[in-house]
Amino acid sequence: MNLFGLTTRRLDIAQKSLDLASREALLRAGNIANADTPGYRAKELSFEKAMHDALRPAAGAGSLMKTNPKHLPETEIGKVNGAVTVPEGSERIDGNTVNMDKEMTAMAEVDIRYGLYATIAGNEIGLLKKAISAK
């Protein structure tokens, strides 16, 4: 996320996290909407490992060298999209695998994480505004 061409690493991470949380919420809402659809297979969005790998400093050929401890690590945060999977689960007689308790719990967790990421993004934007207006 750029604010007049300015950004911070935390703001970029919060933006990507907000995007992924929104995507997960839409996926979960689709599961809930199809809870009574015969043969529907519940879907999940997995992005934690990809996010962790993207936040680790790059190493190897072609990567930037960190010559000063104050240098920020090179990351691939923009490339994290997550993977939609269809986990194995208990199947009802009609072939549907949606577990409403699991979906409602997951939606509550997504809501909490989204609020956290929005707070982080808001704080970073506030710091950028403060830096811009400092005399």
pLDDT per residue rounded down to tens, the chain (135 residues): 555 566 778 888 888 889 999 999 999 999 999 999 999 999 999 877 777 777 776 555 455 555 666 555 555 677 778 888 898 878 899 999 999 999 999 999 999 999 999 999 999 989 888 888 876
Residue 135 forms beta bridges with which residues?
A: none
- Tallying the residues shown for the chain, one arrives at 135
pLDDT of amino acid 87: 85
pLDDT of amino acid 105: 96
DSSP reduced 3-state for 13: helix
Q: Find the helix or strand (DSSP H, E) in which 45 lies.
A: strand 44-46
Q: Find the helix or strand (DSSP H, E) in which 84 lies.
A: strand 83-85
The DSSP code for 8 is -
Residue 54 phi/psi, 5-degree rounding, is -70, -30
> For the chain, which residues make up each domain, given as ranges?
9-133
User: Considering only CA atoms, which of 29, 32, 28, 45 is closest in space to residue 96?
Assistant: 32
pLDDT of amino acid 63: 52
pTM > 0.85: no
| Distance from C-alpha of 39 to C-alpha of 50, rounded to nearest angstrom | 30
